[in-house]
Amino acid sequence: MPRIANPYRPGFNQAPASLAGRDAVLAAVREALDVAALDARTPRPLVLAGGRGVGKTVLLGETAAIAADTLSWLTVPVEVRPGRPFTPQLVERLHTARHLYDQAPAGGKLMVSGAKVRATVLGVGGELDIVRREPGPGPAVPLEAALAEACEAAQRRGAGLVVTLDELQLAGRHELADFAATLQQHVGDDWPLVVVLAGLPNIRDSHRGVTYLERSEWHVLGLLDRAASVEALTVPAAAAGRPMSAPAAAALAEASGGYPDAIQVMGHHAWRASHGAARIDVSHVPGAIEAAEQDLAAGLYASRWEDASPREREYLAALAWLLADEEVVGGGAVARRLGKDTRKVSYLRDRLLRKGTVFAQGGGLRFAVPGMAGWIRSHVGR
């Protein structure tokens, strides 16, 4: 039997074969593009807020793909890096976008896909290489000018522009406020500009008072529900020609806890465990979960644990031990186990929720991936 490439995409920034359970966000993206493209207005910016691994970055990528496929619009993607301003890169990329639009033949259209841009005039295409170096805009070009030039170049082609800004929580307050003020100022110009921002849920507090963000359309991304988890597990397998049985998908979905990152890890190992078989069925599940848990322990669980402060670790350990006996464990129970007043430790719960290490669900708290509770119990005594 020929070996088929594994259709699952574990790891950050890896676009899944099936982007499940995000219809509301994708509808909002399409609507924003419609407002810009059809109504010729600048739509409200979208903010995608959620813990690590819920799928923010892949949604930004999907936004770019939709803009390219449906409108042939370019996307300027920027990822904020720790301790570094993002504006220079944004300006540089706006400059590139402007040149790409200007290079498109008059009356022609840009066909955007991957790193290549095809410019077509009445179906006759020429390739423009996106990596072709344009002379840089120079350090002095302010964001406002770069944005205006890019939007105007797009408009000359009957097109528009998408700007995505990822890891927004790393942006400096002042820099973000400047960025926001620039965009805000030009809302009345009706630029065909769609801005999508993504970051951890704490951006709401850390950037409080930035009106631009407050008037944005917020989408808080959480765990996938059971149906979406099953879809994310079964669709890639079926498309790759080795379908997954419903009981197998249910068991893997359960083990993943609906955490998108873990869904891909589970699917990846189920695929590996079923090499040579025509289907993925329940016989492959125990081995797949075991291998996936090992992966998650070495990666996700360990990094979340290392990222936690000593007090947060106490909180996590208390929650993990309570979950050994109880299905639903609330913040009050954790506080009692720690021998503290609930209000005194609620800041720890909030911090862990904001990081996406724990999630609130069904009146209780749970780990992003259920297996993390057992992992903590095997490391920290009762």
Select the binding partner of residue 10 from ligand ADP, Mg ion, none (C-beta < 5 to 8 A, by kind). ligand ADP
Select the binding partner of residue 54 from ligand ADP, Mg ion, none (C-beta < 5 to 8 A, by kind). ligand ADP
Return the amino acid letter for 275.
H
Q: 204 or 279, CB closer to Mg ion?
A: 204
Q: 56 or 219, CB closer to Mg ion?
A: 56
Q: Which of 85, 89, 98 is nearest to 134 (CA)?
A: 98
Question: What distance, in Å, lies between the first and last C-alpha atoms of the chain?
Answer: 49
Of residues 195-254, which lie at the interface with ligand ADP (CB under 6 A)? Answer: 232
In the numeric block, which tokens belong to residue 46?
A: 């979208």
For residue 181, count other CB atoms closer than 10 A to its CB. Answer: 14
Select the binding partner of residue 55 from ligand ADP, Mg ion, none (C-beta < 5 to 8 A, by kind). ligand ADP
Q: Give kind and range of the element (H or E) at residue 321.
A: helix 310-325
Number of residues that bind ligand ADP (CB under 6 A): 24
Select the binding partner of residue 216 from Mg ion, ligand ADP, none (C-beta < 5 to 8 A, by kind). none
- Signed CA dihedral, 5, 10, 16, 18: sign only: positive
Under rule CB under 6 A, residue 16 binds ligand ADP: yes
Of residues 50-69, which lie at the interface with ligand ADP (CB under 6 A)? Answer: 50, 52-58
- Tokens 């996938």 correspond to 224
Q: 80 or 154, CB closer to ligand ADP?
A: 80
As to burial, measured by CB atoms within 10 angstroms (0-12 exposed, 13-18 middle, 19+ buried), residue 85 is middle
Which positions touch Mg ion (CB under 5 A)? 56-57
Under rule CB under 6 A, residue 137 binds ligand ADP: no
**Alpha carbon of residue 380 to chain centroid:** 32
Q: 24 or 40, CB closer to ligand ADP?
A: 24
At its nearest, how many Å lie between Mg ion and the CB of residue 167?
Answer: 7
Three-state secondary structure along 199-246?
ECCCHHHHCCCCHHHHCCEEEECCCCCHHHHHHHHHHHHHHCCCCECH
Binding mask 259-298 for ligand ADP (x = CB under 6 A): -xx-xx----------------------------------
Which residues partner with 109 through β-bridges? 120
As to burial, measured by CB atoms within 10 angstroms (0-12 exposed, 13-18 middle, 19+ buried), residue 20 is buried
Q: 56 or 93, CB closer to Mg ion?
A: 56
Under rule CB under 6 A, residue 12 binds ligand ADP: yes
Residues that bind ligand ADP (CB under 6 A): 9-14, 16, 19-22, 50, 52-58, 232, 260-261, 263-264
